[in-house]
Amino acid sequence: MPSSTAVQEEELHWLALKMVPGLGTRRSALLIEQFRSPLGVFRASESDLVAAGVAGSQARSIASGCSFEDAVEQHQRVLSTGTVMIPITDERYPEKLRSIFDPPLILFARGRIQLLESICIGVVGTRRATPYGLAASERLSSDLAAGGITIVSGLARGIDTAAHRAVLSQKGNTIAVLGCGVDLVYPSENKKLVAEIMAQGLVLSEFPMGAPPYPQNFPVRNRIISGLSSGVIVVEGAQYSGSSITARLAMDQGREVFAVPGNITSKMSWGPNLLIKQGAKLVQDWNDVVQELPVEERRQLAQRNQRELNLTGEGETPAPEKSDDPQAPLKKELLSLITIDIPLHLDALLETLEYHSSSEVIAALFDLEMLGLVRQLPGRTFVKVW
């Protein structure tokens, strides 16, 4: 295991590379690929750097090591705030994000780092949200979080803030991606919310410590929201809004794009309605999102939800029932009766489970559907999700 001195030296080199003026994330990543590490980059000669495609002024800046003064100041801020640095070569760096065209060189993180390994869905929308948009953001975010999905958003006013708060109220997982340094709060009224996210979720940024929330930062940070996520939900936004930019980035990154339909007379609905016309998946509830996730991610969510309830599916060893869920035995029976490929009508389930009332069966089915274990099809028929 590397010593703390070696770790700090490596972090300083990463920060110094990031602080080179005008170098950019794409060029930095190519240099790391060619010279294998930041240390290798700074040991390279000016001519080697120019041969690697670096502009002359930047090559001189790297060779002179002048960015180390800024790096030392940055490192002190990192240590004093308890921030964790995650460079692109770190095993904790999310693979989804690493695979995009221009992944951040370094992630600055405060909170539960393990959330970077979780299944994420982005929720974005306008800062000038309508009551309908706020309600949709809250409902979808809380339902998805209850099913084990981490909600990623940008902490902006309106839709983003509603999404984060709804998840926290469910004791769920959320990641806030900032357009400034993680030691700052923007907007300032979200100071308490940021503290709650740091305690329960994760605050993330690629911008250096103390970096102000410049307007140009926000379109840049949007690629991180989509890059972390398996899909992005656009709740409200004008035709050329930031949320529409995030949707385009998600498409470019091969992510699923979802949109909540809105009132055709509202300008805040133009963005999502247009996305639906262009092929985005129309979202009415959380299940519309879950059904579009990759098979392996859906399987992970189902296994997680089964563990939460101590329920078992076909072919599994029976687990002890949770004493605080009186419907657990009924839910286990339903999971044993409902199959993956043959829809089973509600009447057939009620007939088989005649010793349970119809209200009990329907309530149990609803809970299983909310957990993503069962799906209702047209005609009051049900199939198992897996």
What are the counts of helices (DSSP H) followed by strands (DSSP E) for the chain? 18, 12
Alpha-carbon distances, residue 198 vs 82, 176, 185, 192, 194 (angstroms): 11, 9, 12, 10, 6
Name the pLDDT band for 306 (thresholds 50, 70, 90): low
* Local structure of residue 227 (DSSP, 8 states): H
Decide: 350 and 334 in contact? Cβ < 8 Å.
Answer: no
Q: For the residues 268-281, what does the mean pLDDT come to?
A: 92
Fold of 295-384: Arc Repressor Mutant, subunit A (1.10.10)
Under a CB-based contact definition with an 8 Å cutoff, are residues 174 and 163 in contact? yes
Angle 47-48-54 (CA atoms, 0-180°, nearest 5)?
85
| CA distances to 126, 137, 245 from 140, in Å | 16, 5, 21
Residue 386 binned pLDDT confidence (cut-offs 50, 70, 90): low
Residue 313 confidence (pLDDT) above 80? no
**pLDDT tens profile 126-167:** 999 999 999 999 999 999 998 889 999 999 999 999 999 999
User: What does the pLDDT average to over 271-280?
Assistant: 92
Higher pLDDT, 382 or 309: 382
Q: Is the pLDDT assigned to residue 311 strictly greater than 50? A: yes
Predicted local confidence at residue 363, as pLDDT: 84
Model confidence over 327-340: pLDDT tens digits? 788 888 898 898 87
Report the half-sphere exposure of 276 (CA within 13 A, side-chain side).
18
Q: Pick one of 3.40.50.450, 3.30.450.40, 3.40.190.10, 3.30.360.10 as the CATH number of 111-290.
A: 3.40.50.450
Q: Is the pLDDT of residue 245 over 80?
A: yes
CA distance 348 to 362: 12
Q: What is the mean pLDDT of the chain?
A: 88
In terms of DSSP bridges, do strands 231-234 and 256-259 run parallel, antiparallel, or are they unpaired? parallel
- For residues 234 and 229, give the distance between their C-alpha atoms in angstroms, rounded to a whole number: 13
The dihedral over CA atoms of 57, 47, 24, 249, expressed in degrees to the nearest 10, equals 140
- Using an 8 Å Cβ cutoff, are 108 and 209 in contact? yes
Give the residue-averaged pLDDT of 279-294.
90
**Domain boundary assignment for the chain:** 4-77, 111-290, 295-384
What's the mean pLDDT in 58-74? Answer: 89
DSSP result, 273-317: HHHHHTTPEE-SSHHHHHTTS-HHHHHHHHHHHHHHHT---TTS-
